[in-house]
């Protein structure tokens, strides 16, 4: 646990909220540094749901239980890799990303 935050498996009520965390995190990149589609699009909700049902989505929640960061692990051909990791900008630089990894 990072002070004031809890890291754990994503709960079903978190799934629809993760896209907002993702787009907020993309907003900190300077214009032209990432594809514009990355700013406006998030991972599809079905991908979050499938990965979460498999136990492969982890969230960082604040003291009120609101997700402020997440990591998605994908497994292909028996190999796991970090597919996505984001932290809302207002919660950045507190060790949340490192704890999620």
How far is Cα 101 from Cα 79, in angstroms, rounded to an integer? 16
Backbone angles phi, psi at 46, to 5 degrees: -60, -35
Name every residue whose Cβ is closer than 8 Å to that of residue 71 and which is 6 or more positions away in sequence.
57, 58, 82, 84, 85, 100, 101
* Higher-scoring residue by pLDDT: 42, 17: 17
Going 88 to 89 to 94 to 95, the CA torsion angle's sign is positive
Residue 48, pLDDT > 90, answer no
pTM beyond 0.85: yes
Give per-residue pLDDT as tens, 31-44. Answer: 888 887 777 777 78
């Amino acid at each position: 646990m990072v002070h004031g935050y809890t890291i754990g498996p994503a709960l079903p009520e978190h799934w629809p909220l993760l896209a907002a965390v993702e787009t907020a995190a993309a907003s900190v990149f300077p214009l032209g540094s990432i594809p514009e589609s990355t700013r406006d699009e998030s991972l599809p909700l079905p991908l979050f749901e499938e990965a979460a049902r498999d136990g492969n989505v982890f969230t960082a929640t604040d003291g009120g239980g609101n997700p402020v960061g997440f990591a998605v692990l994908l497994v292909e051909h028996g190999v796991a890799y970090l597919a996505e990791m984001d932290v809302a900008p207002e919660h950045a630089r507190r060790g949340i990303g490192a704890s999620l990894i």
